[in-house]
Copies of this chain bind each other. A is one copy, B any other.
Amino acid sequence: MKHYQTASLVGAILVALVGCQNILPTQTSTPKLIINSSDDAQISQQLAKQALASRLSYDIVESLTVEVGPRLAGTEKDIVAVEWAMEKLWLMGFDKVYKESVQVPAWSRGTAYASVVSPYEQPLMVTALGGSIATPVNGIQAPIVRFESLEELTHASPARIEGKIVFIDHKTERHITGKGYGESVGGRSRGAIAAAEKGAVAIVIRSIGTDHDRMAHTGMMRYQEDVPKIPAAAMSNPDADLINAMLKRDPKVVLSLNMTSENQGIATSYNVIAEVTGSSKPDEIVLIGAHLDSWDEGTGAIDDGAGVAIVTTAAKLIQDLPQKPARTIRVVLFAAEEVGIVGAKAYAEQHADELDKHYIAAESDFGAGPVYKIDFNVNPATYEQVKQEHSAMTLFGVEMGNNEASGGPDVSIMPALGVPVASLRQDGTDYFDYHHTPNDTLDKIDPKKLAQSAAAYAQFAYMMAQSEIDLRPLKQKEQQH
């Protein structure tokens, strides 16, 4: 891993004042302890106050959800979103605005109908999981076999499953961290493989969601080369309850399933990028990201219009400072996160030669806030300094957490590439009520909480763009072996 030079804070401010990079003093050794200048702490706090007082973040997510709406990767609306982002960022006056093409898988939801055929005829509310194939034109009719979890399915005898529709009934628990999602989502992403390996003809899961709305939660599922592809759908939580009530009365519950979803090859999308050019270390990057694509049934408000709004607002407030910070703030609106963090992987490839210049990266992709804690994944030797530097953020209710962050879905691939990351933890208590459903709409966003998240990101980005702490090398698995 390459260590880069860091300019001193004094130098950074000096540059900002005199507008000249060539007189910069530099230092090559990592300082043992950095105390921020009172100026930086003051500017950070001022940024937070501005963010809290501003409607900008809400205006951005409103604009995206109203003027674009759903924007599934690889669709026409995805390109509308890219155009929206390019224009919006340009009009906001960032130093640089550009896009980078990404090849993304395209998929069409089509229709999904399911019903119980016996013991009691009832329609069910289902939706196709992202990437699923269709059923045969006349649908599939088969008894279901219920499993508590993907794990139970994994250990089940194929004799129980052959010719049946697998029903994974894993309830998602509510938690501020969203950890319940992590526990149940395997059934969605890997359930079709596990079911098909044992001869199932389809899989229908209980929605990975904490709500009681009669809406199914979509989300990506995967196939595996050597395993037959079977149709995969989710049913709403109330429908899963209904199936359980029927199973209590009769162990043989027969479902009918008809889906017309279709994979449609490869399409072009774009990572959209805006920059606040650093005043003294413009080639060093503080990346704050979100993803521009969304699922197709809501308007992509909490996932991830909110993230787009939060990081864009944070960067815009820094763009408008009279003195730009030392490093470049790079806003990356990733393409095609929902369908497999495709834009992020393309970014890592396309920027492979400057990843060592990424000082730190963070992504907002957990709803509309507020941020209550920051975790980092930085050099363990300097983590305490980072905490100290960011202690000003506690003024705005943001605690310092641990040094075990993944950084958010898109940037989660970066620590393995040596890039330090941070996770600005947003309150996810109700996130999975709406996530990946038609209910992901603007009304679920509280403008004040959103503004608080923008404040936290503005503070984080500014402090990181000014910091003299050396965040590398990471303590990471790849390096430990």
Taking Cβ atoms with an 8 Å cutoff, the residues of A that contact B are 62, 65-70, 77, 120-123, 125, 212-215, 237-238, 241-242, 245-246, 249, 298-299, 437-439, 441-444
Copies of the polypeptide in the assembly:
2
Q: How far is the CB of A67 from chain B (nearest CB, A)?
A: 5
Instruction: Tell me whether A123 and B238 are in contact (CB under 8 A).
Output: no
Instruction: Tell me whether B242 and A70 are in contact (CB under 8 A).
Output: no
**4 tightest Cβ-Cβ pairs between the two chains A and B:** A238-B441, A214-B438, A69-B122, A66-B245
Instruction: Tell me whether B212 and A122 are in contact (CB under 8 A).
Output: no
**A125 and B438 in contact, given A215-B214, A241-B443, A245-B62 (Cβ under 8 angstroms):** yes
Q: How far is the CB of A115 from chain B (nearest CB, A)?
A: 10
Instruction: Tell me whether B120 and A68 are in contact (CB under 8 A).
Output: yes
Q: Which residues on the B side are within 8 Å of A438 (C-beta)?
A: 125, 214-215
Q: How far is the CB of A120 from chain B (nearest CB, A)?
A: 5
- Among A68, A125, A212, A443, find the residue whose CB has the most chain B CB atoms closer than 10 A: A443
Residue of B nearest to A440 (CB): B214
A212 touches which of B123, B245, B443 (Cβ 8 Å): B443
Q: Which residues on the B side are within 8 Å of A70 (C-beta)?
A: 122-123
Instruction: Tell me whether A439 and B214 are in contact (CB under 8 A).
Output: yes
A237 touches which of B69, B121, B443 (Cβ 8 Å): B443
Q: How far is the CB of A174 from chain B (nearest CB, A)?
A: 14
Q: How far is the CA of A65 from the CA of B121 in the complex (A)?
A: 11
Q: Which residues on the B side are within 8 Å of A67 (C-beta)?
A: 120, 249
Q: Which residues on the B side are within 8 Å of A121 (C-beta)?
A: 69, 77
Instruction: Tell me whether A442 and B66 are in contact (CB under 8 A).
Output: no
Instruction: Tell me whether B238 and A442 are in contact (CB under 8 A).
Output: yes
**A299 and B242 in contact, given A214-B215, A215-B214 (Cβ under 8 angstroms):** yes
Residue of B nearest to A77 (CB): B121
Q: Which residues on the B side are within 8 Å of A214 (C-beta)?
A: 215, 298, 437-439, 441
Q: Which residues on the B side are within 8 Å of A246 (C-beta)?
A: 66
Question: 10 A-B pairs, CB-CB below 8 angstroms?
Answer: A66-B120, A66-B246, A69-B242, A125-B438, A212-B441, A212-B443, A213-B213, A213-B215, A214-B215, A214-B441
A215 touches which of B68, B215, B241, B299 (Cβ 8 Å): B215
Q: Which residues on the B side are within 8 Å of A212 (C-beta)?
A: 441, 443-444
Q: How far is the CB of A187 from chain B (nearest CB, A)?
A: 20
Q: How far is the CA of A214 from the CA of B65 in the complex (A)?
A: 14
Q: Which residues on the B side are within 8 Å of A242 (C-beta)?
A: 65-66, 69, 299, 441-442
Q: Which residues on the B side are within 8 Å of A442 (C-beta)?
A: 238, 241-242, 245
Q: Which residues on the B side are within 8 Å of A215 (C-beta)?
A: 213-215, 438
Q: How far is the CB of A55 from chain B (nearest CB, A)?
A: 14
Q: How far is the CB of A108 from chain B (nearest CB, A)?
A: 14
Residue of B nearest to A69 (CB): B122
Residue of B nearest to A246 (CB): B66
Besides the contacts A66-B120, A125-B438, what 8 more A-B pairs have beta carbons closer than 8 Å? Answer: A67-B120, A69-B121, A122-B299, A213-B215, A214-B439, A238-B439, A238-B442, A242-B299
Q: How far is the CA of A438 from the CA of B216 in the complex (A)?
A: 12
Residue of B nearest to A62 (CB): B245
Residue of B nearest to A245 (CB): B66
Instruction: Tell me whether B66 and A439 are in contact (CB under 8 A).
Output: no
